[in-house]
Amino acid sequence: MNHAKPPPSRHVVDWDHPDLKPLLDRTAGWGLDHRGVFEPVQCELHVGWGAAVGRPASLMYEGDGVLVIAANFAIAPAENVRIDYLQAGRMRSRWGVVVEGRAGRRAEDAENGTRVYWVHMR
C-alpha cells in the first residue's frame, strides 16, 4: 500500500505566448524591498571568528535561522560573522555564515555604499 501523496500536477507555460509578453514587460523592472516591515536595529558586526573589533551595521530582519544585515563595507561569501545587538535591554550575540551579499537597491544605498547580506545562523 502506498501512502505517499501523488506529485502535484505540472503546468506548462508558454513564455512566448503573445498575451503573456505585455505582462512580463510591465514587471521587468520590479524589485522586492521588505525593509519597511522590520524596524532596523543597530548592531556591531565582527567578521571572522577571531575578530576582536566589530564594525557598525544594521540588523534589517531576523527570521528563523537567518539574519539580513545592511553594512557599508564588503563581506565575502562563506565568511563567518558574529552579530552583537541589544534586544529587550540585553546584549545578544548571534553567530553565522554569510551566504549572499549584494549592493542595496535604494537611492540612499548607492549614496552611502550600503550592501545587504544574508547570514545563516549556526
Q: In terms of Cα–Cα distance, which of 109, 56, 47, 57 is closest to 79? A: 47
Asked if 40 and 85 touch (Cβ cutoff 8 Å), the reply is: no
pTM beyond cutoff 0.85: no
Gap between the Cα atoms of 90 and 100, Å rounded = 28
75-115: pLDDT as tens digits: 999 999 999 999 899 999 999 999 999 988 888 888 888 99
pLDDT value of position 57 = 96
Strand, coil or helix: 2: coil
Q: Are strands 80-87 and 55-63 parallel, antiparallel or unpaired?
A: unpaired
DSSP string, 11-27: ----TT-TTHHHHHHHT
